[in-house]
Amino acid sequence: MIRVSGLVKKYGSFTAVDGVDLDVEPGEIHGFLGPNGAGKTTTIRIIAGLLRPTAGRVTIAGHDLETSPEAAKGALGFIPDRPFLYDKLTAGEFLRFHAGLFGMERNGVDARVRAMLELFELSRWEGELVESFSHGMKQRLVMCAAFLHKPRAVVVDEPMVGLDPRGARLIKQVFRALSREGVSILMSTHTLEVAEEMCDRITIILRGRILARGTVDELRALAGGEHEELTPVFLKLTGGSGLQEIDEGV
């Protein structure tokens, strides 16, 4: 559903993303795991159409982002790591504004807005100004917006950062429910625990390059299979060289 091949992004002479391939199946929650600075946000912003790659190709639901940007972006929802919200809009106004941006049919919008607010447990705050929202509520509102136009795939950058346990649990449940409906989710994280707990498959990135890909069990097997945690997989794959970055990331 999300297909990325040979993606490269250079900032001047520095290569932040260096030949990344990704393939997210329909209904899959795919973890994009790596320490801070690995190239996750850069990759995700390219997939969202916000940043131009130096090389490589992105398709979303079969639509090439370069040649059919409108169709590709229409099939995608994007949840950034630092969401931008208009403080002076209410939650409901923000979502209707977002529906307009995506050209959603007018009739049907109200029902969809209500359904999303309910899913993310924000119904009570539909008429409240965004400026009064907590960090977690703002994050949930941005997620409502990302799923509003019924995208077939969603990319989300570090969704668990700064959430309290209850908020994190809710997000996990909602992502799982949406994936069961066939939505593909590509989710970046620098936390092994989050990836292990939530993802069907995981792609590990370090310094712009893919180190490994697989289910948690497959990745464990790479490290010899006897380990409960993924940390030894990192150790094995990087020969220990990436460990400091990984520690800093976690």
Ligand X SMILES: Nc1ncnc2c1ncn2[C@@H]1O[C@H](COP(=O)(O)OP(=O)(O)O)[C@@H](O)[C@H]1O
Q: Which residues of the shown chain bind ligand X in the complex (CB under 6 A)?
A: 11, 14, 16, 34, 36-42
Q: Is residue 223 within 8 Å of residue 232, measured between CB atoms?
A: yes
Window 176-215: contact mask with Mg ion (x via CB under 5 A): ----------------------------------------
Q: CB-wise, 117 or 206, nearer to ligand X?
A: 206
Residue 41 binds Mg ion, judged by CB under 5 A: yes
Residue 43 binds Mg ion, judged by CB under 5 A: no
Containing 144, the helix (H) or strand (E) segment is helix 135-148
DSSP E strands, 13-121: 14-24, 29-33, 55-60, 63-64, 76-79
Binding partner at 59 among ligand X, Mg ion, none, C-beta below 5 to 8 Å by kind: none
Smallest distance from the beta carbon of 158 to Mg ion, in angstroms? Answer: 6
Q: Is residue 205 within 8 Å of residue 36, measured between CB atoms?
A: no
| Cβ count near 26 (within 10 Å) | 13
Q: CB-wise, 45 or 152, nearer to Mg ion?
A: 45
Q: Would you give the DSSP letter of residue 125?
A: G
Q: What angle do helix axes 135-148 and 91-101 make, rounded to 10 degrees?
A: 30
Smallest distance from the beta carbon of 178 to ligand X, in angstroms? Answer: 23
Binding partner at 132 among Mg ion, ligand X, none, C-beta below 5 to 8 Å by kind: none
Please report, as ranges, the residues that interact with Mg ion according to CB under 5 A.
Answer: 40-41
